Amino acid sequence: MAQINSEIAFTYINTNKKLTAVAALGILLGMAIYIFMNSMMAGFGKMSDESIFKVSPQIRIYNDQEISQPIAHDTDKLPILINPKIRNTHNKILNPNQLIALLKNQEKVKIVTPQVTQNVFLSMGMSQLSVKALGIIPDEAEKMFNISQTMVAGKIEDLKHNLNGIVIGSGISEKLSLRVGDNINILSSKSVNKTFKVIGIFQLNNKREDDSKSYINLMAAQQLLKENNSYITDLNVNTIDPYKARDIAPKLSNLLAYKAEDWETANETLMAASKMRKIIITFVSTTILIIAGFGIYNILNMTVSQKINDIAILKAMGFEGKDVVKIFVTQAMVIGFIGVVLGVLVALFMVNILKKVYIGGDIGYFPIQFEPLKFAQGIIFGLAITFLAGYIPAKKAAKVDPVTIFRK
């Protein structure tokens, strides 16, 4: 019984090959563009996240400066506070070694490394430049930021046992015309003056970072601040899944009683831009797919109007409303299926072509990848839209009153 419904549906498809092809072409284009745009967006997102991970840890733990709190309240519960200001405390983390051990025992935590952040002056003859000097443990920092990948001269490993070595950004090297092997004078905020040797230059293709960032050995950083070797300003943490960092950070914050900031919060502007991009692309690609759905809807509506006599005859011969719905929904789904399959193939083809296109700059190859999730989403969404686009006219067909047709 169901067989005869699909047999009728396939006959209609066969005798209207042109219409079928046009409708399937609509779905094909909608599908291909939907999958392609979403894959591109996913690739872009991954690339931009990766560029963030190169410069900032997934979770940064530091001693946040606090505003002084009222000591007492008056009888009306009004706080008594004179001249509130930032409490003048050290921004160092107390007892860092114990905290590092504690952090390393947390599940989902992959890497923990201490860091001393300070601003120093690099002076070269008459020219001076304010630069951020990060005191790091080279091995661990390498694991976290993949510094060696960004090195354009020298080696980061050379920093390991060299208390006088400095690795500078390419912008600094240009401004002060420093090359590997050159000496440079460093003046710290604690008035320590020391000569360092440039042992490497890195380039992140991020102008702000390249112009103002340098790495020195952790111990050298402590010396510049006249501190002992338990002086740490930041603890950098990488988690196993970077996208869970946002949930893990508050837990670490509670555990250590220091502020823990995840990378998404730290890069709020970038994340907001990427969220906007996501919304726009989702909106546009979904609209395109829905428009393709309108194509099927239109063509089925037309078929229903053309076949209104057939529908009346079928009903007179004993076909029920649900049989008529099945006939036209089958027709829509066949069109949709053809469109979806071909659309997926076209999307695969486009992704494969673009993957090989070289853009240059810090992007390199076009950041697009085969995203199974996006393909699955597209397929489900495409089939759902065809079903709807077929069901509405089919429902209309099912309501055809044969008597009014026969009496015309």
Partner 1 sequence: MEVALKTENIEKYFYDPVKFQVLHNLGFEVKKGEFLTLVGKSGCGKSTLLYILSTMDTGYSGNLYIDNELVSNYSLDRLAKIRNEKIGFVFQFHYLLQEFSCLKNVMIPALKLGNKSKEEIEHLAYEKLSVLGMAEQALKPASKLSGGQQQRVAIARALINDPLIIMGDEPTGNLDSKNTNIVFDIFQELAHNNKQTIIAVTHDNDFARNSDRTIEMQDGKIIN
Question: 106, 137, 136: which is closest to 255 by C-alpha?
Answer: 106
Residue with tokens 């009306």: 76
Give the shortest CB-344-to-partner 1 separation in angstroms.
Answer: 31
Q: How far apart are CA 90 and CA 62, in angstroms?
A: 11
Question: 86, 85, 103, 119: which is closest to 258 by C-alpha?
Answer: 103
Q: Is residue 315 involved in binding partner 1 (CB under 8 A)?
A: yes
Q: Is residue 179 involved in binding partner 1 (CB under 8 A)?
A: no
Q: How far apart are CA 366 and CA 353, in angstroms?
A: 10
Max Cα-Cα span within the chain: 105
Q: Is residue 300 involved in binding partner 1 (CB under 8 A)?
A: no
Give the shortest CB-371-to-partner 1 separation in angstroms.
Answer: 42
Cβ within 8 Å of residue 378, ≥6 positions away? 31, 34, 35, 38, 289, 340, 343, 344, 347
Give the shortest CB-331-to-partner 1 separation in angstroms.
Answer: 13
Q: Is residue 13 involved in binding partner 1 (CB under 8 A)?
A: no
Stretch that binds partner 1, among 108-116, 202-210, 276-284, 319-327 (CB under 8 A): 319-327
Stretch that binds partner 1, among 79-87, 134-142, 191-199, 400-408 (CB under 8 A): 400-408
Q: How far apart are CA 336 and CA 385, in angstroms?
A: 9
Rank residues 289 and 312 by Cβ distance to partner 1 and give the closer one: 312
Q: Is residue 305 involved in binding partner 1 (CB under 8 A)?
A: no
Rank residues 125 and 318 by Cβ distance to partner 1 and give the closer one: 318
Q: How far apart are CA 184 and CA 173, in angstroms?
A: 11
Q: How many C-beta atoms lie closer than 10 Å to residue 224's C-beta?
A: 24
Q: Is residue 45 involved in binding partner 1 (CB under 8 A)?
A: no
Positive or negative CA dihedral for 106, 107, 108, 111? Answer: positive
Give the 3-state secondary structure of residue 121: strand
Give the shortest CB-3-to-partner 1 separation in angstroms.
Answer: 7
Q: Is residue 17 involved in binding partner 1 (CB under 8 A)?
A: no
Of the candidate residues 322, 345, 363, 380, the single one contacting partner 1 (CB under 8 A): 322
Of the candidate residues 313, 342, 350, 388, the single one contacting partner 1 (CB under 8 A): 313
The HSE-up count of residue 209 (CA atoms within 13 Å, CB side) is: 17
**CB-based contact 393:297 (threshold 8 Å):** yes
Q: How many C-beta atoms lie closer than 10 Å to residue 116's C-beta?
A: 23
The end-to-end CA distance of the chain, in Å, is 30
Give the shortest CB-393-to-partner 1 separation in angstroms.
Answer: 18
Of the candidate residues 71, 82, 317, 357, the single one contacting partner 1 (CB under 8 A): 317
Q: Is residue 147 involved in binding partner 1 (CB under 8 A)?
A: no
**CB-based contact 112:106 (threshold 8 Å):** no
Rank residues 287 and 404 by Cβ distance to partner 1 and give the closer one: 404
Q: Is residue 193 involved in binding partner 1 (CB under 8 A)?
A: no
Question: 157, 146, 91, 133: which is closest to 218 by C-alpha?
Answer: 133
Q: Is residue 302 involved in binding partner 1 (CB under 8 A)?
A: no
Give the shortest CB-13-to-partner 1 separation in angstroms.
Answer: 11
Q: Is residue 12 involved in binding partner 1 (CB under 8 A)?
A: yes
If binding means CB under 8 A, how many residues of this protein chain bind partner 1? 26
**CB-based contact 284:37 (threshold 8 Å):** yes
Rank residues 11 and 229 by Cβ distance to partner 1 and give the closer one: 11
The HSE-up count of residue 185 (CA atoms within 13 Å, CB side) is: 10
Rank residues 201 and 312 by Cβ distance to partner 1 and give the closer one: 312
Give the shortest CB-12-to-partner 1 separation in angstroms.
Answer: 7
Q: Is residue 65 involved in binding partner 1 (CB under 8 A)?
A: no
Q: Is residue 4 involved in binding partner 1 (CB under 8 A)?
A: yes
Of the candidate residues 81, 273, 363, 403, the single one contacting partner 1 (CB under 8 A): 403
Question: 30, 24, 20: which is closest to 292 by C-alpha?
Answer: 30
- Rounded to the nearest 10 degrees, the angle between the axes of helix 17-55 and helix 138-145 is 160
Stretch that binds partner 1, among 10-18, 101-109, 169-177, 334-342 (CB under 8 A): 10-18
Interface residues toward partner 1, by CB under 8 A: 1, 3-4, 7-8, 11-12, 15, 309-310, 312-323, 402-403, 406-407
